[in-house]
A and B are shown apart, each in its own frame.
Chain A
């Protein structure tokens, strides 16, 4: 994780050789239509545990739709999705919730719950004694560095703190997973300031690398994506146009093709992926 002492490609290589990467999500010939408009066309992807996969693409490319189809919020036109080798539609809802969780973009609560009560909602699909539950809540709050706000009222928190509370809730939900947990995030950094953005992404990356999570994240910032993701999947008009590790998937040529924008490329010493503006 320590990018300052270890160069990024070396870190990735070391990581990839250490982890046996099982496929946790399979998309086969996935097509989605919203009204008459095809939004995703024949998507084939295998997503693995222990990796952060970033979904990139311009607005309307189908990133969020792809994420939504993974959490059954959208009906498929064709194709199938397997989660842990089992078709998504055949999963028992509660069992699925134990190994697949979604971090909402922004969650507002109608009533002023305290922070620990929000995290406690993550216990819903689990079967734990009260004491085990309380321990789990404490440990997850610690993981997102919010133990000191345990009894604070959720609506009084800043955007970044709320996001981390939600992350703690989602991690609580995944705590009992007997398979590599799957974490889906839809633009988790959109409402956060710079420091909070990096904090959340760093945490997410460590979950993948240290606890073998499969993380799928929709991002807009290309530099963030290439810094924190192990794999980039770039979508354009509902199709995958580029897929691979950041330095292969995100080239100036791809950017010109997909975003119709000519980036300024700044090479940073020691980094395989250049900074793009």
Chain B
């Protein structure tokens, strides 16, 4: 029954879409966002941000503290503008960290969770909440510390790498074939016009998913039949630093709202 209902809803949505389907998927996403706002008055991503806000301010973990003491790069508890400057080097861990890994760092070091207790279902809403505090600001990542330089170079190499049984990598689709599509899906211009790092984490309306860029990168590899890099490992962090540097100055839309 649920599926029939869903199918009917989709069919009626298709009917609405058929009246005027914008060519550009970016325009289509904007239209879908408007439709959702009109019909329900709130976006699903707003609810995820609220969920993250609760998780952020609640005293949790073995040490019973909130995440207000967490330094996301601009000082403990400073959230505005923090996520548009990530990934960056953190002296306390001696590592370049992205939003996901920094949340995990604070959940383990500040709140006292064990690494295996850090759930994606908590990291993602937290990422949505923190990112939302940088909505509208320009992306501003730096390559200053030696560790940042090293990570940037790693990210660049991985972005252009060809590997696996399908001989592919990020750039094969997201640079060389930007104006084409695979199956019915058009490729975003990750380093150029779309400045993809400016709108992640994002809500994906086509399958009701809340994803951070780490989820997105892992899914890209998965779609290519390529083994996925681990969450919080240097691979997704390096790729994000490379992409974010290309997106510098782009105005952030956080959380993003995408197909």
Do A and B actually bind?
no
A positions within 8 Å CB-CB of B:
none
- B interface with A by C-beta (< 8 Å): none
